[in-house]
Amino acid sequence: MYWQWSSRQGNERQSNNDAVAVINGKTFFFVMLVDAAEKSDKSKQFSCYWAETIARSVLKLKAKPSNNEVLNILRNAQKQLRHEFLHETASYIALIYDKNTQKGQALVCGDCRLGLVSGGIKWLTKTHTLETAFDESLGGVTKGAMTRHTLTHSLNAKRFSNPKMVELDAIKDEYWILCSDGYWLEHVDEKIPWQALNDDASCLTTAVNKLPSEQINSDCENCFSYNL
């Protein structure tokens, strides 16, 4: 699998609080993308900690992790957050891809998203926000910034939120993008130029075929990669 990482600090943020970890194994490909809410001087550390911790636990399996194995890793890691990240929150999205079957799964918690790019973007996952909940239950009666930015599921130290799992088909000439809300909302939906974004914005692009541009383009060290 080929991949690229693009990430930048938002103009209204103190630091870039997004992070990603990538495992490119012989039989599987794994990604953990994290978007931490800016709550304290530990928020950036929190996103990097979660991405690295989950990836290193997956590495110990030395084979493609099952959905249950990843869920157990997430649950066990969440229990440890109270020791250092009691007040932090984040959204995340994980990708598990089997290179032999060419099938995958996405695990989503919060407002990160995964899309399939073939000309335009087809979003394959939904966000865990009040806006999405209202869309599904009330036909979109209530909208606005408060419902858009209020998460119904998140990564935090107080309780474990089960991520939503989405099955993924094989990709051929298309590619997937995993991204934070600063990317899909501001940059894609609102068409705000890259350098003018207010929120942290990050996107990992992955494909079976070679991608044309550089592998990592980030304003800080927030990408952790491993090869098996």
Q: Distances from the Cα of 179 to the Cαs of 119, 147, 152, 158, in angstroms?
A: 17, 20, 18, 25
Asked if residue 147 belongs to a domain, the reply is: no
Give the number of other Cβ atoms within 10 Å of residue 85's Cβ: 22
Query: What pLDDT digit, counting tens, does each position of 56-88 carry?
Result: 999 999 888 999 999 999 999 999 999 999 999
Tell me the C-alpha distance between 31 and 54, whole Å. Answer: 10
Pairing verdict, β 201-207 and 103-109? unpaired
Mean pLDDT of 160-189: 94
Query: Quick one: pLDDT band at residue 28, thresholds 50, 70, 90?
Result: very high
Which residues lie below 8 Å from residue 25, measured CB to CB, with a gap of 6+?
64, 99, 227, 228
In a domain, 25, yes or no: yes
pLDDT at 66: 92
| 169: in domain | yes
Domain count, the chain: 1
Confidence of residue 41 (pLDDT cuts 50, 70, 90): very high
The amino acid present at 23, given as its one-letter code, is I
CATH of the domain at 42: 3.60.40.10
Residue 81, in any domain of the structure: yes
Q: Is residue 8 part of a domain?
A: yes
The answer to the question of residue 145 being in a domain is no
The single-letter DSSP state of residue 29 is E
Cα distance between residue 214 and residue 38, in whole Å? 28
Q: With respect to residue 144, please indicate whether it lies within any of the assigned structural domains.
A: no
pLDDT above 70 for 107: yes
Per residue in 142-156, pLDDT (tens digit) is 555 545 567 888 999
Look up the domain containing 164 and give its range: 2-125+154-227
Q: CA 114, CA 45: separation in Å to the nearest integer?
A: 24
Rounded mean pLDDT of the chain? 91
Confidence band of 6 (pLDDT split at 50, 70, 90): very high
Range from 49-58, 89-98, 117-126 carrying the lowest mean pLDDT: 117-126
pLDDT of 133: 53
Residue 134, pLDDT > 60, answer: no
Residue 110 located in a structural domain: yes
Quote the Cα angle for 202-117-12, to 5°: 20
Residue 194: phi, psi to the nearest 5?
-55, -45
* Predicted local distance difference test score (pLDDT) of residue 214: 77
Q: Are the C-beta atoms of residues 216 and 4 closer than 8 Å to each other?
A: yes
